[in-house]
A and B are shown apart, each in its own frame.
Chain A
């Protein structure tokens, strides 16, 4: 059973398009995250939700909009895709969201914008 799953695994699209990435966790965790990892491996947190409420919103263009329909799901919608959005996007979850919690990562979605 996959603890944190993401779809799709790969996403290739043209500049200017709108796309969504979905994430689901079956661990019963309260907190979920979206990270962006660029080609240099830098892991940058984008958003964090706790029980469907946004708690971390780092400096991210407002073309990126997270949506959490319930605490097991956190989706990421990206409008007007740009070349610089090409990266691997990881969803993660943790029990309560404190810095002492282990984060469990999904397999990642490799987004390529042409």
Chain B
């Protein structure tokens, strides 16, 4: 079946450092969504990428969809303590069903 790998599983950074999480699929994706879950909270939608090579920005967050639509990345510039949480990619395959990555848990030292 379709699988998605998200790396790294954990990342510990100093406040102000950059952070990147990657999402890789074995098959071509129709689109990909990213969600953030704060500690003790629930997943909250961040963004959706649909087009090959698409890049979207939300303040310090930059999201990219690979040219082959098999991978995606989320980059945070100059992390803040408010960025703490687990970031999930949720790509949709050709059957348009969402597949959830294992998430990347980000810890930020003040």
Interface residues of A (CB under 8 A from B): 40-45, 56, 90, 92, 98-100, 102-108
Contact = CB atoms under 8 A, between A and B. Distances in A.
A99 B31 contact: yes
B96 A102 contact: no
Contacts of B50: 100
B44 A41 contact: no
Contacts of B45: 102-104
Contact of A100 (B31, B35, B95): B31
B68 interface: no
Given A41-B103, A104-B45, A56 B97 contact: yes
Q: Looking at chain B, what size class is its interface with the partner chain? A: 20 to 34
Q: Ordered nearest first, which 6 A-B pairs have the shortest CB separation?
A: A99-B92, A99-B96, A105-B42, A43-B100, A102-B45, A105-B43
B102 A42 contact: yes
A42 B4 CA distance: 12
Interface in B31-69: 31, 33, 35, 37, 41-45, 48, 50
Nearest to B100: A43
B21 interface: no
A40 B105 CA distance: 10
| Residue of B42, B86, B90 with highest tally of chain A CB at under 10 A | B42
A27 to B, nearest CB: 13
A71 B44 CA distance: 22
A81 B104 CA distance: 30
Contacts of A90: 42-43
B78 interface: no
Contacts of B42: 90, 105-108
